[in-house]
Structure 1
Amino acid sequence: MNYSVLANINKLNLMDSKPSTLAMKVYEEIHKDIRSGELPPEQHLKTDLLKSKYRTGTSPLREALARLASESFVTATGKSGYKVSPISTYDYEQLIGLRRYLEVKALKSSIILGDVDWEAGILVAYHRMANLTKQELDSEHLYNEKKEEVHRNYHFALLASCESWWELKIISNLTNHIERYRRVLDITLNTSSSEYHEVQNEHHLLMSAAISKNFKEASFILDEHRKRTYKLIREKLETV
């Protein structure tokens, strides 16, 4: 699996129904706003307001919402109405359980099949993530899209040589949903905290283990790395 494919994995998710260019643009904008929490869980999506906000017509909006419904980001409310899908502890546990299983499986395949281009892709992705400026990290827009993109690209670079395109596609969709939980619940680490620096160290250790073809070590680090966020989100869910 070529690394460049992974960089566009979200766009690949759109290919099944081949939406129009305008519908795709509207889909991507609403999708981003749902993930970021700008459109919060269970908010009713009124057609007229959406048409105004996203500067679109009825047909592209309907097509975009149908796509989002097929991915469970919105749910139908009857008579062509939609609302943003709710969040729950049960749903979250399902998401992390499935991603945990598939991500480790994909990592193993990627480590076995990875070549020098795969290694280079990991190094580039890690370098971009590690060299975000303090200003970018401490941006008032806490979850700015650049920060999200480079972190996501790093984790998918590790999986880029996985032989199963379908596994990567499913992991991508699961990651989008888990990202929504993290951002809606405002889960973050202060960049000056010791825990934040531990997370960054885990990124480096994970990269080293993967490139060294040490699957056992890499899978252990990945699991511990993910558990940190899982725990924070579960604790926050119990209070909402």
Structure 2
Amino acid sequence: MENIQLSVTENIFKKIKYDIVFGNLEPDQKLKLNLLQTEYNVSISILREVLNRLCGDGFIIYKVQKGFFVSPISKKDLYEIADLRITLETHALEISIKNKDYEWEAELLGAYHKLNHAENELEKNNLNAKSLWTKYDAEFHQMLIKKCNSLNLIRIHEVIFDKYLRYQLLILKYRGKESIKEHKDLLDYSLISNIQKAQNTLRDHIKKGVDYASSNLSL
């Protein structure tokens, strides 16, 4: 019974987090427990547990005597998240490349192939590919750092990556060919173990992404 409740809690956590990241629950939106209970078909006790956990990760804030709200967005927050992502991901990438093996190389190539397919579909203005691009972009970046062999680092990176992604998904435009080239360069430099160029490419990739988001958002 305990394992079932844990799986229900984790499932609801992922659903609400998804709705925040993808903008279905909007920045600053008040989260009314009775409506959430109906929407996600979950008990109040599990719902409170999930909301408190999301507060801990920074996706939700709690205001005394007012309740839970989706975390607001701001340029300051966006650039702080980007800086944290750069610090974490470039560090993890270095360790991952040093620990690489043939299995990791094969998995990285597979992740890149799926991402590149989604990117090419977006280049054709196929907006239905946006959800696939989101999924495969995350998988590619997660695969880049997989061999850092640190569950703590990967867990923290996942939280920061999703916060960064939230800002990206508020933009309807796709950055295009420049981003595609950066992903290809990241792949190539990682496979040949050129750590410095891989890190520099990753750093530029994130900085250009955050500048693009900032210029296209009304913050």
TM-score above 0.5: yes
Q: Is the 8 A contact 2:123 2:176 kept in 1?
A: no
User: What is the CA–CA distance in structure 2 between the aligned matches of 1:49 and 1:142, rounded to whole Å?
Assistant: 31
Partner of 1:206: 186
Post-superposition Cα deviations, 1:146-199, rounded to whole Å, max 9, x if no partner, equal: 321111111111111113322221111100111111213x1532xxxxx61222
Residue 135 of structure 1 and its aligned partner are, at CA, apart by: 7.8
Would you say 1:45 and 2:31 are equivalent positions?
yes
Q: Is the 8 A contact 2:122 2:129 kept in 1?
A: no
Post-superposition Cα deviations, 1:74-105, rounded to whole Å, max 9, x if no partner, equal: 11122482010111222222211111111111
* TM-score of the aligned structures, taking structure 1 as reference length: 0.82
| Structure 1 pair 174–37 and aligned structure 2 pair: CA distance change class (3 A) | same
Would you say 1:173 and 2:162 are equivalent positions?
no
Paired positions, count: 215
Partner of 1:71: 57
SS in 2 for 1:21: helix
Gaps of 5+ in 1: 1-17, 190-194
CA RMSD of aligned residues (A): 2.2
Partner of 1:88: 74
AA aligned to 1:85 is: S
| Structure 1 pair 65–158 and aligned structure 2 pair: CA distance change class (3 A) | same
Q: Is the deviation greater in 109-118 or in 73-82?
A: 73-82
AA aligned to 1:134 is: E
SS in 2 for 1:83: strand
* TM-score of the aligned structures, taking structure 2 as reference length: 0.89
Q: Which has the higher helix share?
A: 2
AA aligned to 1:58 is: I
Listed as ranges, the matches of 1:178-189 within 5 Å are: 178-184=164-170, 186=171, 188-189=173-174
Would you say 1:221 and 2:208 are equivalent positions?
no
Query: Which 4+ residue blocks in structure 1 deviate beyond 3 angstroms?
Result: 135-143
SS in 1 for 2:25: coil
Q: Is the 8 A contact 1:107 1:159 kept in 2?
A: yes
Would you say 1:32 and 2:18 are equivalent positions?
yes
Q: Is the 8 A contact 1:36 1:143 kept in 2?
A: no
